[in-house]
Amino acid sequence: MGKVNVVQRHKFADYLDISKTGTPEWALCGTGFTTLDEEPGAQSESVKYVNDAAASSSVESYETTFSFESELIPDEKAIMAIYNIGRNHLLGGDAQMDYVRVELWDPMENQENVFKARKFLVSVNIDSISGEKKIAISGNFNAVGDPVDGTFNTVDKTFTAVDSGSSDIGPAE
């Protein structure tokens, strides 16, 4: 068996739009975050017909969440935006943000600093602000609706949506 290339965690970059003006201001969820995991939450339905020995299942929907934990670092804009949602008990649309997950391991051909990405509208759910020495924040980004396929320029910090009918699922050749 040859060399197996497993994607390392640092090859995903996560950004939150912390703007309140409508013009995106993407802040990296990096320093301070100790976990940020995607859980697609596939919802399936199964049925067993009378002439079958076993049931058949199919995926009917997704309830995607991104669980996170971070240290409370005042200089980190993404962390402070999350903290303020929990601190101020924001609700509904005030507790929602755009979130982009960038696949740094999958660059776009002939485009420098541009990678495949997905944008989600998420509701920010803060479960805990706690700690004996260091204060940690934990919770979930809960997807609202379907993700938008696209690309993200890591220098310009811009997300560009692509037509989902033409997006390539696999890694770039």
DSSP state of 7: P
How many C-alpha atoms does 92 have within 13 Å on its Cβ side? 1
- The Cα 38–Cα 66 span in angstroms is 4
Other C-beta atoms within 10 Å of 133: how many? 5
- The Cα 120–Cα 151 span in angstroms is 13
| CA 99 and chain centroid, separation | 6
**Which pLDDT score, from 0 to 100, does residue 167 have?**
46
Whether the Cβ atoms of residue 122 and residue 144 lie closer than 8 Å to each other: yes
Low-confidence ranges of the chain (pLDDT < 70): 164-173
**Which pLDDT score, from 0 to 100, does residue 169 have?**
46
| CA 57 and chain centroid, separation | 27
Domain architecture of the chain: domains with CATH: 9-161 (2.40.30)
Provide the whole-model pTM.
Answer: 0.86
**Which pLDDT score, from 0 to 100, does residue 3 have?**
85
The first and second tokens of residue 128, run together, are 């805990």
Query: Which residues contact residue 147 at a Cβ distance below 8 angstroms, ignoring those fewer than 6 apart?
Result: 64, 118, 119, 120
**Which pLDDT score, from 0 to 100, does residue 173 have?**
42
**Which pLDDT score, from 0 to 100, does residue 59 have?**
87
**Which pLDDT score, from 0 to 100, does residue 118 have?**
97
In tens, the pLDDT along 5-38 reads: 899 999 999 999 999 888 999 999 999 999 999 9
